[in-house]
Structure 1
């Protein structure tokens, strides 16, 4: 008798002699099973020759609960089930009707927040994409889990199988797009898949935001925003970027207020994201290019403050006024000169024709902008002379 046979006989003995109602006994059985798994030699056996499907489901649920944060223990067991070809079979009631409301181990895995990469593997076991199992207590579904885990191919299969793309969560009003966008595991491919299947981006959930509000609040969001606009137009559902959430904010306002309530249109694009593409989108949909925050700063002030050459150039080429003064009495061009950045000043000089309104910065402004230069006076003087020369060549007197 070989080693594999001995191990299988041990498993069968434990299977037939433990109390399946006692968790500790089930753990004892599983520990022995895990040893068999680690020591197995050759082709894996069909697990259903050893356990009933109901027993496998119990063991899988126990494993998820027990090792939800132990990827090195949980992943091999799920991989083993997949390799042996184990598939979940739908359950039916006394009338032969499919039971949709059922807490599957996959739903349990989603609720206890296992590693999404492992979660996606579970769809190789629960592969009936024409059935969207629902946890009765939390109204959590297999399709939602796929969206939140970032399983794009799985979501595609669900929607191709006829699942409703615009189903809303009964309690929160969230759409599949809301779930995907709130997940840290989302991707442009996931969002594109949902949009191509007709998910409505203008649905407002019970907390207020639409999909475009959520995109505006996400870091590095301009690509998603542009894709949302392009794909919803393709599906004849143009995104309503001026739609207000429950707090009265539009998506354009959310893109700025999310970081700091003092900022108004374009300021967040310039301060937090340094994102020319986002700035383009915001301007396209009506954001004022010269809007001032409570300190009187325009987006151009902020772009200069962060020495963002590409944003400064973009704003100037799109009509930003370099002579608007803030509460301190300084305009953006004065900030640029006081920054002692010749490359930044060149951007202004290449895009500002009229220097007749320019007033050279005061000594106070130079001191405020360049405290780190105090011990390097000779170098500072050289740079300052270089800047003056550049200004004079462009007509400044």
Structure 2
């Protein structure tokens, strides 16, 4: 049964993070008992059930769908079969499930998988049309556990830059605040002085945040400075702004104190102009 959006019951079951494993198992058992085939490669306007399972990180459903997938030699739709076949070949890196993402930086299996033809596996460092890698997307989308699993294996380029020059650390600092994820990037070798095309370093990103999410900013900034290596605390972006000027503009005395404690030059400080902050 297909609704107006092209969805089948299996789409509805899988389009949620808390998909019930037992219900999914029973769904297949009942249909098999009634000899009613389940189209696991049925595609609505955009996604197959397997795509939805991957979007929500449902490993149980992914494994179940893989085991019940169509025969590559059957008369099913060629495109769907090809997608399933290539996912089957490239979904694992050293035995671990690796997510895909599309050119809009969504965590989802793209129609054209990022496939390393020489190795025959998915390459987690290949970028999409925007220069975005898997690590950028993980850093923006609160994927701490995925990073814990992959970073120690040195599979990911920690300082890859997208077309705007942003590294995964830039992305993590501009998305929803996740102290554990940001600290993991820092301790895994993220470049604290990497500048994007606007000349902004990660420290600029910390100091320009205007929300109240960073209640434990003191702890994060201490981690930022305690790692070996020099931090360019007085780095100037393309607008002529330093991190200290951004912290002052945001009325963040906690940030200001930490910057001064770590060598920010107060002797040359001038208040930023309004046009610089736009």
Give the TM-score band, short-chain normalised. 0.5 to 0.7
Matches within 5 A, 1:49-68: 55=41, 61-62=46-47
Of 181, 204, 226, the residue aligned with 1:213 is 204
Residue among 156, 169, 180 paired with 1:177: 169
User: What is the TM-score normalised by the length of structure 1?
Assistant: 0.43
Q: Report deviation, 1:187.
A: 0.9
Contact 2:194 2:201 in 1 (8 A): yes
Flag the structure with more relative contact order, 1 or 2, with Cα contacts below 8 A and sequence separation at least 6. 2
Structure 1 residue 227, shift from structure 2 partner: 2.9
What residue in structure 1 maps to residue 237 of structure 2? 245
The answer as to whether partners of 1:168 and 1:174 remain within 8 angstroms in 2 is yes
Partner of 2:150: 158
Matches of 2:89 and 2:26, distance apart in 1: 27
Corresponding residue for 1:278? 255
**Contact preservation (8 Å) 1:209, 1:246:** yes
2:34 alignment counterpart: none
Say whether the 8 Å CA contact 2:53–2:59 is kept in structure 1.
Answer: no
**Cα drift, residue 189 of structure 1:** 0.6
Classify the secondary structure of the residue corresponding to 2:47. helix
Task: Tell me how far apart the structure 1 counterparts of residues 132 and 179 of structure 2 sit (CA, whole Å).
Answer: 23
Instruction: Quickly say closer, same or farther: Cα 1:179–1:51, change in 2 above 3 A.
Output: same
The separation in 2 between residues aligned to 1:61 and 1:135, in whole angstroms, is 22
Q: Does 1:147 align with 2:139?
A: yes
Where do 1:67-146 residues align within 5 Å? Answer: 78=56, 82-83=60-61, 85=63, 86=65, 88-91=87-90, 106-108=100-102, 111=104, 131-132=123-124, 134=126, 136-146=128-138
> Which among 171, 183, 194 is matched to residue 192 of structure 1?
183
- Change over 3 Å in CA distance of 1:222–1:198 after alignment to 2: farther
> 3-state SS of the aligned residue for 2:88?
coil
Q: Distance in 1 between the 2:170 and 2:25 partners? A: 46
Given that residues 229 and 239 in structure 1 are in contact (C-alpha distance below 8 angstroms), is that contact kept between their aligned partners in structure 2? no
Q: Which has the larger radius of gyration?
A: 1
Q: Which runs of 5+ in 1 are unaligned?
A: 1-9, 15-23, 65-73, 93-97, 99-103, 114-118, 121-128, 260-267, 270-274, 295-397
- State the match for 1:168 in structure 2: 161
Q: Which residue of 2 aligns with 1:31?
A: 8
Structure having the larger proportion of residues in helix: 1
Contact 1:215–1:225 (CA under 8 A) maintained in structure 2: no
CA positional deviation for 1:213: 0.6
Map residues 210-359 of structure 1 onto 2, 5 A cutoff: 210-219=201-210, 220=212, 221=214, 223-224=216-217, 226-234=219-227, 236-257=228-249, 259=250, 268-269=251-252, 275=253, 277-284=254-261, 285-286=263-264, 288=266
Q: Quick one: structure 1 residues 233 and 204, their matched pair in 2 at CA, closer, same or farther if it must change by over 3 Å?
A: same
Q: 1-side partners of 2:105 and 2:165: how far apart?
A: 22
